[in-house]
Amino acid sequence: MAYDRDLAFVYRNPTKLVFGENTINEISSEIGELKCSKALLMTDKGIVQAGLAGRVEKALGSKLVGTYDGCIQDCGLHIINGAAEFAKSKGADILVSVGGGSVIDTAKGVAILLKEGGKIQDYAGFQVLSRPQTPHIVIPTTAGTGSEVTYAAVVKDWDDNRKLLFGDNFIIPNVGILDPTMTAGLPPMLTATTGMDAFCHAVEAIHALQCEPISDAMALHAIKLIMQYLPRCVEKGDDLFARGQQLLASTMAGVAFGNAQIGLVHAMAHAVGGLFKVPHGLANSILLPHVIRYNMDVCADRYAMIARAMDLNVKGMSDEEAANAVADAISALTKKMHVPQKLREVGVPEDGLAKASDYALSDGSIVYNPKIMSDTEEILSVYKKAW
């Protein structure tokens, strides 16, 4: 996995980032800069009840044409199609998503339909669009998905119980407003699992087949920040400095994997998420140490880089020993934050692992895994260790 003279890559990071406490108050000027004037706020009912949507509505002022609060966990095709009809009825020319990954991905889908028409399932796959989509500003309320800077959306097909990937450079949001005050009320377990989602993004960006020096730099610094600040966010949710550092780490990890891609952890997490409704960050957290051990014979040197970013004492260790130390340290971190350690603890039945393996093998994320996957039995063996 070391770089050589054959190294060649394209690095993309088009999203404008606005960071700082109470920066949501700058949203009106950001909309003006994008030459728009009719904003639809997209969120979920929990965000509304927490008062966060109201803060953004106030900041939008006369530019607000409506609020759609029907976003749900594991956003479905039918949700996006319905939300797009609502957005059209309001005459929206820009979308403002306030929430976690599911809300942001719903808005990415609506951005497509406002411009292209049809149904969202018509655009599944990678790089199928030919022009910029409806402008989109993201205000994350979790610090994990990094979706404010990525070209991907994950949408559940509720009829087939599986997740579909939409990947296109034209759905990367225009602006991400990173306001730590918008994450301060996130409960400890959600803070932990969404934070581990970001950690997983960073690790997979480093071992993915498209890894390169710029994404490595972003991912390694994200890992350093998460190790230092995620436990603080879990222990003291109103620590706005720690919340801000975790937000930055999540965004950096998003930029990293948006360029380098991901791998087996995400393929397996998408499968158990679609089949058994395991929240994405929680699935990633459980699976990550086991995938590291599975991959380490082909990329232990990459995991040794991660060990140093985690500030582990690996002096004198081989790369393989350092890789094992990384897997052990991740488990220790999640145990400290009281995150479940096994799939059986989160409702995944043992007799469902074979079907999950089939789904994971066909997931688009898997093609970037450092170890080439061609057999469901290999994936099943990893699932069994995590079960």
Q: Tens digits of per-residue pLDDT, 327-336?
A: 999 999 999 9
Check pLDDT > 80 for residue 2: no
| Amino acid making up residue 69 | D
Domain residue ranges in the chain: 16-182, 188-386
Question: CB within 8 A of 360, min separation 6: which ones?
Answer: 264, 267, 268, 270, 271, 366, 376, 379
Averaged over 165-175, what is the pLDDT?
A: 94
Q: Over the chain, what is the mean pLDDT?
A: 95
| pLDDT range class, residue 1, cuts 50, 70, 90 | low
Of 47, 117, 125, nearest to 81 by C-alpha is 117
Q: What is the pLDDT of residue 162?
A: 78
pLDDT of residue 45: 95
Give counts: helices (H), strands (E), the chain.
13, 9
Please identify, in words, the CATH class of the domain defined by 16-182.
alpha beta
- For residues 262 and 211, what is the distance between their CA atoms, to the nearest angstrom? 9
Q: List 138's β-bridge partners, or say none.
A: 97, 176
Mean pLDDT of the region 280-290: 97
> CA-to-CA distance for 327 and 199, rounded, in angstroms?
12
**Alpha-carbon distance 231 to 319, whole Å?**
27
Percent of the chain with pLDDT over 70: 99
- Sheet with 125-126, side-by-side order of all strands: 125-126, 162-167, 152-157
Pair 84, 214: CB distance under 8 Å: no
pLDDT at 132 over 60: yes
Could you tell me which residue, 219 or 73, shows the higher pLDDT?
A: 219
Evaluate if residue 74 carries a pLDDT over 90.
no
Q: Which of 312, 308, 204 is nearest to 256 (CA)?
A: 204
> Which residues fall within 8 angstroms of residue 337, CB to CB, at 6 or more apart?
188, 192, 230, 231, 234
Q: What is the pLDDT of residue 6?
A: 87
For the cut 70, the answer to whether the pLDDT of residue 167 exceeds it is yes
Asked whether this chain's domains 16-182 and 188-386 adopt the same fold, the reply is no
* Helix/strand/coil for 269: helix
- Distance (Å, rounded) from C-alpha 181 to C-alpha 302? 35
Structure tokens at 33: 């800069």
pLDDT, tens digit (0-9, with 9 covering 90-100), for 4-25: 888 999 998 999 999 999 999 9
Q: Return the amino acid letter for 199.
A: F
- Spatial separation of the C-alpha atoms in residues 315 and 297, rounded to whole Å: 20
The pLDDT score that the predictor gives to residue 125 is: 85
pLDDT digits (tens, 9 = 90+) for 233-272: 999 999 999 999 999 999 999 999 999 999 999 999 999 9
The pLDDT of residue 377 is 95
State pLDDT tens for residues 77-128. Answer: 999 999 999 999 999 999 999 999 999 999 999 999 999 999 999 998 889 9
Per-residue DSSP letter, 368: G
Q: Which residues contact 233 (CB under 8 A, 6 or more apart)?
A: 143, 183, 191, 195, 239, 242, 243, 246
Beta bridge partners of 118: none
pLDDT tier, 158 (very low <50, low <70, confident <90, very high otherwise):
confident
Q: How far apart are CA 153 and CA 173, in angstroms?
A: 11
pTM of the entire structure? 0.95
Within 8 A by CB and 6+ apart from 219, the residues are 201, 202, 203, 205, 206, 252, 253, 256, 257, 260
Asked whether residue 375 carries a pLDDT value surpassing 60, the answer given is yes
CATH topology of domain 188-386: Dehydroquinate synthase-like, alpha domain (1.20.1090)
Residue 42's φ and ψ, nearest 5 degrees, are -115, 130
Q: Tell me how far apart the alpha carbons of residues 372 and 316 are, in angstroms, rounded to a whole number.
A: 30
Contact between 309 and 325 (Cβ < 8 Å): no
Q: Average of pLDDT values for 121-146?
A: 94
Give bridge partners of residue 95 from the DSSP assignment. Answer: 40, 136
- The DSSP code sequence of 288-301 is HHHHHHHHHHHHHH
- Grade residue 160 by pLDDT with cuts at 50, 70 and 90: confident
H/E element, 322: helix 319-336
Rounded Cα gap, residues 61 and 252, in angstroms: 31
Interval 25-55: pLDDT, tens:
999 999 999 999 999 999 999 999 999 999 9
Cβ contact 143:133 at 8 Å: no
